[in-house]
Structure 1
Amino acid sequence: MHRPYRFTARNGREGGIYEQGIYLVILIGTALVLVAAFSSLIAFRFGAPLLLIFLLIGLAAGTDGLGLDFDNAPLAYFVGSLALAVVLFDSGFRTPVAAFKQAALPALSLATFGVVLTAGLVGLCTHYLTDFSWLESFLLGSIVASTDAAAVFFLLRVGNISIRDRVRSTLEVESGSNDPIAIFLTLTLVSVLATGEAIKPQQLAGDVLTGFLVQMGLGVAGGLVGGRLILWLVEKLDLDRGLMPIFVLALSLMVFAAAGAIGGSGFLAVYIAGLIAGNARLRAAASLLRFQDGMTWLAQIIMFLVLGLFATPSQFPIIIGDAIAIGLFLIFIGRPLAVALCLIPFRFPRAETAFVSWVGLRGAVSILLAITPLISEIPNGRALFNFAFIIVLVSLIVQGWTVGKVARRLGLVLPPRLGPMEKITLDLPGTRHHELLTYRVIADSPVARGERIPRWARPSLVLRDGRSLSFQDAGRLQPGDYVYIVIPGAFPHLLDRLFASRAELDPQDVEFFGDFTLDPQRPVRELAEAYELELAAEEADWTIAELITARVGGSPEYGDRVVLGDIELIVRDADPQGRITSVGVSLDPPKPSESIVTILSVGGIWHWLTTPFRRGKDEGKSRRRAHLDSLQKEPRPTRAAPAEEA
């Protein structure tokens, strides 16, 4: 076996060797980053979860691969935490506050009760499958209890999976806010195991609850203050545009560190700070988004490479069977059961509950938490880390590779609202109240067909065949033109419909939208009379739009569906205020894959768990039922077909 490379600091006469070592470290580090970036081409082509590829590259370069020996647990934890803070700030920055408000309650339920339930269920499974003590088992459950923000945001946003805003926002807000209780559960159990002191369950539960409230409260407060501070400083300081993105990034990391230093959740604080900053009209917002996009990619690459380097795959075989079993238990029983119980008060449809259960990906957060037992030097720390690492691999392979397929099988993928569009947002110096947009005119877009641009938008320049023209001199816009338009900052997306091409619908999309459209302002009574539908007394005088709004619980979204007797009403379009503008009617509604919904539901889990105990009883019932049916059936006289009679 080849000897692993170790990089150690040298001085004195060996300064030249030390300098060469630095260059070698930089060379290998940049090579790994380049390989990870290049692997994105392969991952997108074959549909592989890219974060899994980053992790595997780190494993391949580590001790049991190329021989890079990296075993510094505190440094790995530091690098991973810093990178995760960058990812969370960008995630909050890109989350609309309306989506956050819509998903806050179900996401908070999942981020608190869901994490505790998942930790408890996985702890029980671990104790009966392995030789871990009860405390060590629940420690492993706590380590893998929270979903990973980097993995969830990456798969939902970069993976181009278009689902309902409520479901997407619930998953994103949950992954951004469920770290505090998982971190505190983990650190509390690590502390108990490290000191060896006996602690009563009641005392442990009280300490966990108190610590969670402190971390959550200080994290929220730190995020609110930090977000406002970022806004104030960006507006007051006239920094160079090249420095502005770096300044904002440094402020976000300061918020993360300050919240953690006072005992709060730095991860929650930096997410909320990003949410506040991203929903304000910041100067140089377009430059900030482009810079953060690149920094987020770099942070994810470095984070997963470092965590992969830290692992030792040669230690996996002895535990791999039990670890895979625990990972599958988490995916198919622990997470679905916790999600189903937490979402009961919020009336999520079964298909959406099943999808939320499936997108409970584990990733960098779980591996980071698994490093804490090593830092505290508890006896089974390395074994716990290896278990957590394999569970993360199982989650990324099984769930990460199938998120899009499961969404389609459940009937949750929404058809595109707009077709392809070419658009660039440019910053206007000296103002945050207006934006400069550049659109390329596409052949089948509404503006190419002659539709007018609204009066509140000010076209300033048209580039055509290498010539610059004023909008008035250009006349009717032609395909291939580049149009520069100044618009108020509050309307950045309202022109997209005019410059986008027609969305191409495949047969599944046509099936999704229904057989025909209806005016949402028509009385629902007409629909009931035509299709013999039963309505409640108070619904008889409503319009179709009012009925859908009431049935979905207010604020309908694009793609909402309401079953009415044997037909289904579909929201084809709604304005930003939640008013329905177009409704589709499906006479033969498509049904989601019942197998997936059944598996990822409380009823399905209970059925699976109790099948061995019911099998004999059910077989007896089936035999008795068949016997009764045979006694009740009487032979019917046969008769010829009408054609034969004639």
Structure 2
Amino acid sequence: MNPVDYAFLIVAVLLLSTVLAGSLSSRFGLPAMIGFLALGMIAGSDGPFGIVFSDYALAQTIGVACLIFILFSGGLDTDWKLVRPIVAPALVLSTVGVMISAGIISVAAVLLLDFTPVQGFLLGAVIASTDAAAVFSILRGQGGALRKDLTGLIELESGSNDPMAIFLVGVALVLVATPQASLLPFAPSFLMQMGVGAVVGIGVGFLLPSFIKRMRLRGSGLSLVVSIGAALFSYGFAAVVGGNGFLAAYLAGLMAGNRDYTARRTISLFQDGLAWLAQVVMFLTLGLLVYPTQLPSVVGPGLAVTAVLMLVARPLSVFICLAPFRVFDWRAKLFVSWAGLRGAVPIVLATFPIVAGVPGSQTIFNIVFFVVIVSSLLQGPTLAWVAKKLGVQGDEPGVNLQSAARSVS
């Protein structure tokens, strides 16, 4: 038989097994992401299947491609009427909040793990952002009771904070290469990236419905192909002209998802399925990269970073950033702090130092992976309980945390 045929069969078995593993983990009250990653580790070099995969550059490319569709789908499903009143606090959280979290983790890494300042900054930048895939998954449900302003705040923050984390990782990598480099030029660069990315994303999202109408693709499957092209174009064009592609992909979905056109529902459902496929592929790939035999060596550092992140960095960043916004009381702030889930984005970002050849980058990758696992196990399944205890449940049907928390990915 042709080796390509075997390859197709192996890929199919892996995808189906990954979905099964995610479903089984959900039945036991664990995040589906745990099942996805676990199967990847079982299939990897240290597992019984022994699939050798250590191409971090390829994994990084796969992760970026998957994140494009996850963010685009998240934007499509975000109700602008819901998030419009909380745009200001969400943007503060997604920028200043990420910087505060990164700074606190950086200091903790230097003091507790004996990292150099630059290594600490790199670890803080990688782990600072909440993960859109995890948050979008847990907040999509039927007939729940989370306050709508908190739903919008958490979703908008998670969809827009990746650019800041990516920017900080880029700054850290520059400092690794040239420690004497000045940080002043980075501020205009960041503003340009955000501005260009926003313009491209809004433009693509605005033109997508008009393009579908003019090409008479309302009831055609080609409209789904066009939506794929729009997601990739928004990222690619923004990146080529100096903007942030992830922000562009999210805003393109947000703009297109809140315009009225015939194919909107069909495209939204299709992109939702594509986003789930992207999550499965991404987590499976990242799981293959991990060597479980290396994780015991980072249990101590991983627990220390997790504790600082969950109990200090995230709460402080939330309380500081939301202090000017009186609509959020201390209960709401505590819940937002606990809802700062980490997922695939930090793991993908942790591949950047490895590809760049940064000393100690493998240790950073393993610590980040460990932190993501512990964060998902502790925060995902307990969101419903925390929401109930803090009394942040709303009167209108919104987000079913009891069922959604078990399927966070």
In structure 1, the partner of 2:57 is 74
Work out which of the two has the higher radius of gyration on C-alpha atoms and give 1 or 2: 1
Go from structure 1 to structure 2 and tell me whether the alpha carbon gap of 1:257 and 1:45 turns closer, same or farther (over 3 Å shift).
same
What per-residue deviation string (whole Å, max 9, x for no partner) do you get for residues 196-246 of structure 1? Answer: x2326xx22x23322321221111111111112212211110236122112
Shift of 1:158: 4.1
Q: 1:365 aligns with which of 325, 334, 345?
A: 345
Alignment gaps of 5+ in structure 1: 1-15, 419-646
TM-score (norm 1): 0.59
* AA partner of residue 233 (structure 1): F
Shift of 1:280: 0.8
- Counterpart CA distance in 1 for 2:333 and 2:313 is 14
Q: Does 1:260 align with 2:239?
A: yes
SS of 1:346's equivalent?
Answer: coil
Work out the percentage of aligned pairs sharing the same amino acid: 38
Q: Does 1:216 align with 2:194?
A: yes
Q: Does 1:145 align with 2:150?
A: no
TM-score (norm 2): 0.92
* AA partner of residue 256 (structure 1): Y
- Counterpart CA distance in 1 for 2:359 and 2:23 is 42
Shift of 1:161: 4.7
Shift of 1:150: 0.3
- Counterpart CA distance in 1 for 2:5 and 2:170 is 37
- Counterpart CA distance in 2 for 1:191 and 1:24 is 42
What is the CA RMSD across the aligned residues, in angstroms? Answer: 1.7
Q: 2:39 aligns with which of 48, 51, 57?
A: 57
Q: 2:14 aligns with which of 18, 32, 36?
A: 32
What per-residue deviation string (whole Å, max 9, x for no partner) do you get for residues 573-610 of structure 1? Answer: xxxxxxxxxxxxxxxxxxxxxxxxxxxxxxxxxxxxxx
What per-residue deviation string (whole Å, max 9, x for no partner) do you get for residues 151-171 of structure 1? Answer: 001011148653111111111
Aligned pairs for 1:218-617 within 5 A: 218-239=196-217, 241-347=220-326, 348-414=328-394, 417=397
- Counterpart CA distance in 1 for 2:367 and 2:138 is 24
Aligned pairs for 1:83-232 within 5 A: 83-158=66-141, 161-193=144-176, 195=177, 197-199=178-180, 203-204=182-183, 206-232=184-210
8 Å contact kept, 2:22–2:31: no
- Count the aligned residue pairs: 395
8 Å contact kept, 2:22–2:33: no
- Counterpart CA distance in 1 for 2:35 and 2:144 is 19
8 Å contact kept, 1:234–1:283: no
In structure 1, the partner of 2:404 is none
In structure 2, the partner of 1:449 is none
What per-residue deviation string (whole Å, max 9, x for no partner) do you get for residues 486-543 of structure 1? Answer: xxxxxxxxxxxxxxxxxxxxxxxxxxxxxxxxxxxxxxxxxxxxxxxxxxxxxxxxxx
8 Å contact kept, 1:184–1:211: no
* AA partner of residue 272 (structure 1): L
Alignment gaps of 5+ in structure 2: 399-409
- Counterpart CA distance in 1 for 2:333 and 2:186 is 28
8 Å contact kept, 2:306–2:375: yes
SS of 1:283's equivalent?
Answer: coil
Q: In terms of mean alpha carbon deviation, does 50-59 or 81-90 score higher?
A: 50-59
SS of 1:316's equivalent?
Answer: helix
More helix by proportion, 1 or 2?
Answer: 2
More strand by proportion, 1 or 2?
Answer: 1
Shift of 1:300: 0.9
* AA partner of residue 35 (structure 1): S
Shift of 1:247: 1.4
- Counterpart CA distance in 1 for 2:13 and 2:297 is 32
